[in-house]
Every structure is written in structure tokens, then in C-alpha cells.
Amino acid sequence: MNTEKNYELAKEIYASIGVDVDAAIAKADSIPISMHCWQGDDVIGFEKREGGLTGGIQTTGNYPGRATNIAELRADFDKAASFIPGKKRINLHAIYLDSDVPVDRTEIEYKHFESWVKWAKERDLGIDFNPTCFSSDKMKDGLTVTSPDKAVRDYWIKHCIASRHIAGEIGKAMNDTVVTNYWYPDGYKDIPVDRLAARTRLMESLDEIFAAEEIDKKYDLDAVESKVFGIGVESFTAGSNEFALGYAVSRGKLLTLDAGHFHPTEVISDKISAVMLYLNDLLLHVSRPVRWDSDHVIILDDELRAIATEIVRGGFEKRIHIGLDYFDASINRIAAWVIGTRNMRKALLAACLEPTAHLQKLEAEGNFTERLALLEEQKTMPFGAVWDYYCMKSGVGERAEWISEVKKYEKDVLSKR
């Protein structure tokens, strides 16, 4: 469908504004995107446990074909990944362990994740990790590491220490840096009277978790995720943004900015350049909140483009770790992975096609007229032609070709589950 020809024309147009399209493709292709395994099974995991998703997060929808075991999840991930160009990682949660028998969360070991390492290595995927501090009868009043009950706190601290150890072992086995994200739903439905005590307990628990073992940062980086509220914990969240930022800066940890964890008019794209002044590394959970932290599939909207642009403009490709965090159970889950991850990559490619140095020069000179004019002209430049060519060259099919293949997989595989 004239993909090469369109690309040649696009190349000429971008060259006229000083952009090298091939260099842009190579750069966008090399930026890793960590695909969250939990889109494939509605954040349930393989613990052989009774009970649904808790912790203020929710999947809605009952589209058929959910992955119910490791083999299915891996096959589905492979299918999705085959339609997504560029460098990919898989983001695992502790509940995605590989074990025939139930294992308590405090008893998990590296051996339960060894098969993931083998699988990821065969595919040249990186791995990221998360302790799972939700969906458990070991929570008390919805609390984990901030519980006033020391036994409850200790349980969750132990789980996080075990998770962190596993992450370090995965890093060593992969000879790569695993980014481990710590998220706690802990908060209160109604107005608390001792916010300080809850946050003190959170700080002390995190300190205990990270002090337990010295792990080379080459193999594992720890990130603390902030949140404003969750369903059932509307009045107070211990790990607020100020808490997490302060913790990360004072302890040399990573902050995790999740696009759905702020007030509705706040955007994380504007936070990147501020926090990067004080942090070595940052983890993003790219998501799409619709009225609340609804975790919709990310679309190529202004905010997604702004996030990617801020990463590229700042030269933060190595220091900002891009993770996706959404879960939609109302549509084909493989399509959800493909749509969202392709959009993240598209946004990165669009960002790499910007004549940033020129725009920044105009801004520094106070030439805001030309800055605006050029930014607007750019919007209708043939970005799609570059994307199509990149997809073709990457062997992931052209344009919407993947849709019919996902439909076929749904008919042949998913519908038989």
C-alpha cells in the first residue's frame, strides 16, 4: 500500500524542518516499554487463591478468554508482542509465580520465577517486578505495611523483602536492571485523625524493607508509587505524592508517577521535568484515568504525547523507565495490550520526530509566535507514513492488519477457554 513511497515523501517533509527520520525511528525503537502482565488476566494472578481484586482498584467487564494459567498468559503475551514494534519488557507481580502448590506470599522464592526468566531470555524481553500488597486475606481493615497491628505490618514487610530479593536474583540472572515497584493501597474510607502515624508507619516499613538486603543497583532499582485515592479509601492515602517524592529523594529511590493517581486536572507530563531535577531515575505507570483511576487502555491523546515528548526533550530515555498500567476486561485483552503499547511507541516516535533544538532556540529568543506556529504545523505532518514504514520494517504487520489476526486468535484459542 505505497508504504515505502509514502515514507520517502514523509522523509522529505521532515527533512525540511531539520528532522532525520531514520534516526528518529532508531531512537524510538530502542526505548524499552514495560508491558504489564496483568492486562492479560484482570490482575488475578496464579496463586490458586479464593477472592477477587481488592485494594481500591477494579477491573470491569467480562469479555471472554481471560488467561487463567501461566501457559495461557504467556501465549497471549506472545501474540500481543508480535504486533508491537520496538524493545519490550514484561512487568510481573509477585502473584504471577509459577508453582503447582499454593505458596504464601511471605514464602515466595526466586525459584518460583525462574521459568519466567528462561521465557523472557528466549524472547529478549527485560523483566520488571512488583510485590503484591492487595487482594489478600492477610490485609487488615484494608491495610498492609501501615497497619497499626505489628503482626500485619510484619507480614507485608516480609513479603516485600522476599519480593525484592527475587527481583535482585532476576536482575542477576538476566544481567539487567529490574525495576521493582512498591505500591500499597493503604488508606482510610473516612477522615482519619492520625495521618502522621499512618505515614510514619509507612516510612518505617519501607526503611525496614530496603535495609534488609544490600542489592546492587545494577540488578534492582526500588520505586515507590504515589496515589491520591482509591475506591473505598476515598479520604486518605498514606502513600500520597508528597510522601512518595519525599521518600524517594531522601532515600535515593525512584518515584513512580502513575497517570491515574492525581486530581483530574493534574497531568504527570508536567511533573517529569520537576522531579527529574531531584531524582536519578523515575518510573512511569502510563495509564488513562477516565473520571477516576479507571485504568483505561491508553490512547494516543495529548497527554500521552506530552509524556513521551517530555521524556525525549529532556534526554531522559535512560533515566525514565516506562511501564504501562491499565486493565480493561471489557474488550479483547490481547487487543488491549496491542492498542495501548503501540500507542506508547507511537507517542515516542512522534516525540523523536520533533525538531526540539530549533523549537527551544525560538523559545529562548522569545519568539513565541514561531514556536506556536511550528508546533501546530507539526501536527499535520505525515507522522502516520513514518509509523507505517517502521511497523512494516519491524515485521509487525502494516496498519490495522493485526486486528484480523487477533480476531482469528480469539476464534481459535480464546473462545475455547
For ligand RNT, the binding residues (CB under 6 A) are: 38, 43, 57, 130, 183, 225, 227, 258, 285, 293, 325
Residue 293 contacts Zn ion per CB under 5 A: no
Q: Considering beta carbons, is residue 285 or 342 the nearer one to Zn ion? A: 285
CB 105 within 8 A of CB 138: yes
Is 154 a residue of the active site?
no
* Least Cβ distance, residue 315 to ligand RNT (angstroms): 26
Could you tell me which residues come within 8 angstroms of residue 151 by beta carbon, excluding any fewer than 6 positions away? none
Q: Considering beta carbons, is residue 183 or 210 the nearer one to ligand RNT? A: 183
Is 402 a residue of the active site?
no
Q: Considering beta carbons, is residue 227 or 271 the nearer one to ligand RNT? A: 227
Is 293 a residue of the active site?
yes
Strands (E), 207-334: 220-225, 236-237, 254-258, 282-286, 288-290, 292-296, 320-324
Catalytic choice (159, 253, 271, 285): 285
Read off the DSSP letter of residue 334: H
Could you tell me which residues come within 8 angstroms of residue 238 by beta carbon, excluding any fewer than 6 positions away? 146, 184, 186, 187, 195, 198, 199, 201, 202
* Least Cβ distance, residue 134 to ligand RNT (angstroms): 8
Instruction: Please count the residues of the chain.
Output: 417
Q: Which of residues 231-270 bind Zn ion (CB under 5 A)?
A: 258
Cell numbers found for residue 1:
500500500
Q: Which does 222 bind (CB under 5 to 8 A by kind): Zn ion, ligand RNT, none?
A: none
Is 407 a residue of the active site?
no
Strand 187-188 relative to strand 236-237, pairing: antiparallel
Is 321 a residue of the active site?
no
Is 285 a residue of the active site?
yes
Residue 325 contacts Zn ion per CB under 5 A: yes
Give me the helix-helix angle, 114-123 and 150-174, nearest 10°: 40
Enumerate the β-bridge partners of residue 286.
324
* Least Cβ distance, residue 336 to ligand RNT (angstroms): 14
* Least Cβ distance, residue 259 to ligand RNT (angstroms): 9
**Residues at the site binding Zn ion, with contacts judged by CB under 5 A:** 258, 285, 325
Residues annotated catalytic, as ranges: 183, 225, 227, 258, 261, 285, 293, 295, 325
